[in-house]
């Protein structure tokens, strides 16, 4: 029998019971839609992680102390940062950063409790692509002489001074009085860090005033951000930093007590975490697709039983086992492909709505559409095959005798 005719026969079979056919496809619709939505959600998550890490600043090389390296007696020091700034070529600036325990910040009658304090070097705004909105950042000179100045995150400025200008005001951090010289632009929360809710101080002032009680000494830094002149310089900058610090720390450059990473490295690490999450989602979606397939198989078995007499008649009229097989297999495949098609629409629409109205960022993965649709077709063939062979194997006489 020709395919077109088989197709029509199968279609007529499905139209016999429209409501049931639709309900049967629901499983596949949900399966396909969830594959697309889940992949869109994890792609969205990855994209926003990458975006956040890129928001640290462009062309950054990030140096941090390795934790738990055996024999790592020394940690990253402010002098390491100065050495990098002086000796590494191909960089435009560095920003060494250190954070003491959070402190109360007071101005006039307002007290903000447990505020994050960040000590940085003077190049911080330039290196981290984070501009000063009002006033100015402190200078190298101010840092070196531990000037009692502060730059406020946008949120802190607002909380302390409202609409009033913060510049020139005095604030008390812990028990130290500082003069506000600048307010940073609003940046919001990036990678779980609330940039607007922090107070930025000269790093040497932080060492002097807020870290003297730390047993490890008040010249350690937690991160040195190094801005390369361009993307092309990054490999060279990493190599230079690695050899420079290895020499300074007297360690083997192959087994350093510090790590030198790029944003791409960090993104890759983060993606490894989200990949596990994505795999889990993909399994869940895949299983729902299989459940949808089992639903099709179930209904096809019922259909074969109900239509046994019809099958017997068709056999009497000359239908070969292959014709009967094709008729029922096509019914299953049409169901799953129709489910796949609607599932793609629901999945794409759902991903879009999630992104537009939900808290989750979604990015539709183009490949997920043929993937999910193809999976639906495979499910239809796989789960339609058994009922179809049952139909094809029926004995014409017994089938005709069935009521």
Partner 1 sequence: MNQPLIEVRELAKIYGEGDAAVYALASVDASIERGEFVAVMGPSGSGKSTLMNILGCLDRPTTGAYMLDGSDVSGMSKNELAAVRNRKIGFIFQSFNLLPRLSALANVSLPVMYNDDDVSEEEQRERAIAALNSVGLGDRLHHRPNQLSGGQQQRVAIARALINNPPLILADEPTGNLDSRSSEEIMGLLHELHAKGTTIVMVTHEPDIATHAGRIVCVRDGKVVSDGRDGHSPCLDRKVLDGGKQ
- Residues 145 and 122: beta-carbon distance below 8 Å: no
Minimum CB distance to partner 1, residue 309 (Å): 8
Using the minimum distance from each CB to partner 1, give the nearer residue, 2 or 67: 2
CA within 13 Å, CB half, 44 = 18
> Cα–Cα–Cα angle for 152, 154, 160, nearest 5°?
70
Among 12, 79, 141, 232, binds partner 1 (CB under 8 A): 12
Minimum CB distance to partner 1, residue 301 (Å): 20
Among 47, 239, 280, 397, binds partner 1 (CB under 8 A): 397
Interface segment toward partner 1; rule CB under 8 A; list 58-66, 115-123, 165-173, 317-325: 317-325
- Residues 296 and 385: beta-carbon distance below 8 Å: no
Question: With the CA atoms of 284, 289, 292 and 297 taken in that order, what torsion angle do they form, in degrees rounded to the nearest 10?
Answer: -130
Minimum CB distance to partner 1, residue 395 (Å): 8
What is each CA distance from 173 to 102, 154, 319, in whole angstroms?
10, 17, 90
Among 321, 341, 352, 381, binds partner 1 (CB under 8 A): 321
- Residues 81 and 94: beta-carbon distance below 8 Å: yes
d(CA 395, CA 95): 83
Under the criterion CB under 8 A, does residue 316 sit at the interface with partner 1?
yes
Minimum CB distance to partner 1, residue 19 (Å): 15
d(CA 270, CA 46): 8
Under the criterion CB under 8 A, does residue 20 sit at the interface with partner 1?
no
Using the minimum distance from each CB to partner 1, give the nearer residue, 16 or 218: 16
Using the minimum distance from each CB to partner 1, give the nearer residue, 279 or 398: 398
Q: Please work out the total of residues on this chain that contact partner 1, with binding judged by CB under 8 A.
A: 22
Under the criterion CB under 8 A, does residue 19 sit at the interface with partner 1?
no
Length of the chain: 403
Under the criterion CB under 8 A, does residue 315 sit at the interface with partner 1?
yes
Among 68, 318, 357, 366, binds partner 1 (CB under 8 A): 318
Among 317, 357, 366, 367, binds partner 1 (CB under 8 A): 317
Using the minimum distance from each CB to partner 1, give the nearer residue, 115 or 326: 326
Minimum CB distance to partner 1, residue 316 (Å): 5
Using the minimum distance from each CB to partner 1, give the nearer residue, 8 or 177: 8
Specify burial of residue 356 (Cβ count, 10 A radius: 0-12, 13-18, 19+): exposed
Among 198, 278, 314, 390, binds partner 1 (CB under 8 A): 314
**Ordered DSSP codes for 205-229:** HHHHHHSTT-TT-TTB-SEEEEEES
Among 190, 246, 290, 400, binds partner 1 (CB under 8 A): 400
Footprint (CB under 8 A) of partner 1, residues 90-129: none
Interface segment toward partner 1; rule CB under 8 A; list 8-16, 73-81, 92-100, 213-221: 8-16
Using the minimum distance from each CB to partner 1, give the nearer residue, 204 or 303: 303
Interface segment toward partner 1; rule CB under 8 A; list 85-93, 149-157, 334-342, 394-402: 394-402
Binding to partner 1 by CB under 8 A, coded x per residue (else -) over 323-342, reads x-------------------
Under the criterion CB under 8 A, does residue 1 sit at the interface with partner 1?
yes
**What are the beta bridge partners of residue 176?**
173
Q: Which long-range contacts (CB under 8 A, 24 or more apart) does 359-363 make?
A: 360/41, 360/44, 360/45, 361/44, 361/45, 361/47, 361/48, 362/37, 362/40, 362/41, 362/43, 362/44, 363/40, 363/43, 363/44, 363/47
Using the minimum distance from each CB to partner 1, give the nearer residue, 90 or 396: 396
Using the minimum distance from each CB to partner 1, give the nearer residue, 136 or 401: 401
* Rounded (to 5) percent helix, strand, coil in the chain: 55, 20, 25
- Residues 114 and 103: beta-carbon distance below 8 Å: yes
Which residues neighbour 134 within 8 Å (Cβ) at sequence distance 6 or greater? Answer: 157, 165, 166, 167, 182, 183
What is each CA distance from 184 to 32, 134, 136, in whole angstroms?
46, 7, 9
Under the criterion CB under 8 A, does residue 18 sit at the interface with partner 1?
no
- Residues 361 and 51: beta-carbon distance below 8 Å: no
Residues of this chain that bind partner 1 (CB under 8 A): 1-2, 5, 9, 12, 16, 309-310, 313-323, 396-397, 400
């Amino acid at each position: 029998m020709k395919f077109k005719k088989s197709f029509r026969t199968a279609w007529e079979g499905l139209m016999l019971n429209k409501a049931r056919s639709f309900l049967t496809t629901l499983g596949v619709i949900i399966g396909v839609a969830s594959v697309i939505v889940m992949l869109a959600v994890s792609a969205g998550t990855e994209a926003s992680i990458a975006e956040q890490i890129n928001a640290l600043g462009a062309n950054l090389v990030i140096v941090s102390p390795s934790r738990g390296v055996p024999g790592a007696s020394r940690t990253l020091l402010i002098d390491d940062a100065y050495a990098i700034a002086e000796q590494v070529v191909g960089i435009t600036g560095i920003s060494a950063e250190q954070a003491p325990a959070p402190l109360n910040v007071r101005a006039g009658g307002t007290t903000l409790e447990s505020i994050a304090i960040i000590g940085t070097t003077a190049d911080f705004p330039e290196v981290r692509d984070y501009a000063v909105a009002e006033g100015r950042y402190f200078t190298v000179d101010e840092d070196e002489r531990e000037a009692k100045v502060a730059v406020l995150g946008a949120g802190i400025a607002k909380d302390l001074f409202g609409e009033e200008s913060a510049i020139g005001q005095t604030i008390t951090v812990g028990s130290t009085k500082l003069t506000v010289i600048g307010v940073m632009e609003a940046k919001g929360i990036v990678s779980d860090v609330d940039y607007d809710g922090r107070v930025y101080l000269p790093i040497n002032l932080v060492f002097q005033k807020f870290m003297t009680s730390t047993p490890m000494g008040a010249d350690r830094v937690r991160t040195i951000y190094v801005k390369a002149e361009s993307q092309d310089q990054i490999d060279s900058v990493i190599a230079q930093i690695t050899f420079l610090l290895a020499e300074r720390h007297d360690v083997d450059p192959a087994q350093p007590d510090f790590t030198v990473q790029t944003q791409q490295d960090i993104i890759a690490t983060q993606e490894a975490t989200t990949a596990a999450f994505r795999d889990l989602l993909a399994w869940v979606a895949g299983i729902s697709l299989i459940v949808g397939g089992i639903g099709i198989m179930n209904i096809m078995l019922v259909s074969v039983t109900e239509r046994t007499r019809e099958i017997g008649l068709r056999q009497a009229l000359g239908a070969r086992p292959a014709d009967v097989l094709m008729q029922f297999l096509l019914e299953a495949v049409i169901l799953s492909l129709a489910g796949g098609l609607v599932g793609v629409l629901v999945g794409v629409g759902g991903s879009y709505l999630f992104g537009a109205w939900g808290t989750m960022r979604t990015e539709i993965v183009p490949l997920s559409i043929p993937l999910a649709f193809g999976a639906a077709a495979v499910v239809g063939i796989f789960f339609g095959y058994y009922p179809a062979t049952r139909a094809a194997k029926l004995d014409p006489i017994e089938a005709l005798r069935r009521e």
